[in-house]
Amino acid sequence: MTENIVYLHGQPSPIGHFLRVGTTGHRQLETLLGAGKTMPDRVVIEASAAGRQQELIQSLREAGAELILDTNIAELSSLGRFSGAAREAPWANPLAMLDFTRLERPIVADGVGGLAAVAIAAFGAAGGICHGVAEKERFDASSWSKPPKTGGGGREKRILIGAVDRLLSVKQLETLMVAPGARKALSCHDRHCCPNGLDDMLKDPKAHYLRQRGRQIADLARVPDSRRIRHFLDQELAPTERAARNAAKLKVADESLVELLTRSSERLEKMHAVLEDLGSTVDGAPRAASPERSRSARATPSLARR
């Protein structure tokens, strides 16, 4: 009968109807399917639950249902959700990342910075990293549910302190520098970056940030793939860990800054222990492909020089 219907105002567009299984409702759906009481056409499966829902997934596939995978990436990137059910997603495990490398497609880790970002590249979990200029070094969706702030004012200027692998505000840095030995312990010692140490860091903190992040990646890029993990652990992480340990011993009057320096030192120490163990686990594993520059992007510099 439907072929005899004439739409005077044009045929209505279809509406997609998707059924999300969730993390605990699959048994009920299996029962309904088995009893012939329902047959969903389009089903969303959450990555965190896919492992224990294989029977349901197979039944839906055999019935011809369209299956959509929710990767749970948003939850894994949110402070309030990543420790919940989403932690069961296969890519929440650092070794799950190896499955992506076997696709031989370039992988870029976005919204990461600091030594954690360099570690991602050194261990081959991603062939590239992406971050902002002294910002967007981690993904935090906690503010998404809040209304935007009104009024003027910008972000507080922050300065990369490589000795503790942290971005500190100018106020925090000024307070720290009152402590004996702080200037030597926390200033940039790279003469190619900041010839005048702290003064240059304060004068142009964004240039300092970019030079240091660029230097870390450039140094790593010159090392053969098979030696990058050891290079990172010995040449980047270990020296920073020692510097952070010394910084935590500074006699700082502000208790909150004492706590910050202590936490930074402990974090780097734990990171070193974990990555040393991980390095022996993933040794010889496939590495993520590096993203190639597009042809148009490669041509741009030569055009600019004309």
Q: What is the pLDDT of residues 118-175, one digit of tens each?
A: 998 888 888 888 888 777 777 666 666 677 676 655 567 899 999 999 999 999 999 9
Does residue 144 form part of some domain?
Answer: no
What pLDDT does 301 receive?
Answer: 42
Assess whether 199 and 258 both reside in one domain: yes
> Is 146 a domain residue?
no
Q: How far apart are CA 178 and CA 15, in angstroms?
A: 65
Is residue 127 domain-shared with residue 250, that is, in the same domain?
yes
Q: Give residue 68's pLDDT.
A: 79
The whole-model pTM stands at: 0.67
Q: Measured between alpha carbons, how far is 265 from 158 in angstroms, rounded to an integer?
A: 19
| Interatomic CA distance for residues 55 and 11, integer angstroms | 38
Separation of alpha carbons 272 and 244, rounded Å? 12
Q: Distance (Å, rounded) from C-alpha 93 to C-alpha 116? A: 15
CA angle 275, 279, 283 (to 5 degrees): 165
Q: Which helix (H) or strand (E) holds 129?
A: strand 128-130
Q: What's the domain range around 33?
A: 16-90
Give the model's pLDDT for residue 12.
55
- Three-state DSSP state, 288: coil
pLDDT at 293: 64
Q: How far is CA 124 from CA 112, 138, 228, in A?
A: 15, 19, 9
Residue ranges in the chain modelled with pLDDT below 70 = 1-3, 5, 7-18, 22-28, 30, 34-39, 71-95, 97-104, 139-145, 148, 150-155, 293-306
What's the pLDDT at 67? 82
Would 306 be classed as within a structural domain? no
Same domain, yes or no, for 84 and 232?
Answer: no
Give yes or no: residues 195 and 80 share one domain: no
Structure-derived torsion over alpha carbons of residues 245, 249, 255, 259, reported in degrees to the nearest 10: 20
The string over 70-79, giving b where at least 16 C-beta atoms fall within 10 Å of a residue's C-beta and e elsewhere, is: bebeebbbbe
For residues 121 and 248, membership in a common domain is answered with yes
Nearest to 38 by CA among 55, 23, 19: 19
Q: State what percent of residues in the chain have pLDDT above 90.
A: 33
Q: Which residues of 109-132 are buried (b: 16+ CB within 10 A; e: fewer)?
A: beebbbbbbbbbbbbbbbbbbebe
Could you tell me if 117 and 57 lie in one domain? no
Same domain, yes or no: 76 and 178: no
pLDDT of residue 76: 59
Taking phi first (over 0 means left), then psi (-120 to 50 degrees means alpha), and beta for anything else, what does residue 190 get?
beta
Question: What is the Cα–Cα distance from 184 to 220, expressed in whole angstroms?
Answer: 26
Residue 224 lies in a domain: yes
Whether 179 and 75 share a structural domain:
no
Report the C-alpha gap between 143 and 166 in whole angstroms: 21
Q: Are residues 271 and 123 in the same domain?
A: yes
DSSP 235: I
Same domain? For 75 and 161 the reply is: no
Q: 236 and 124 share a domain?
A: yes
Q: Is 187 in contact with 194 (CB distance < 8 Å)? A: yes
Residues 257 and 169 in one domain: yes
At 42 the pLDDT is 76
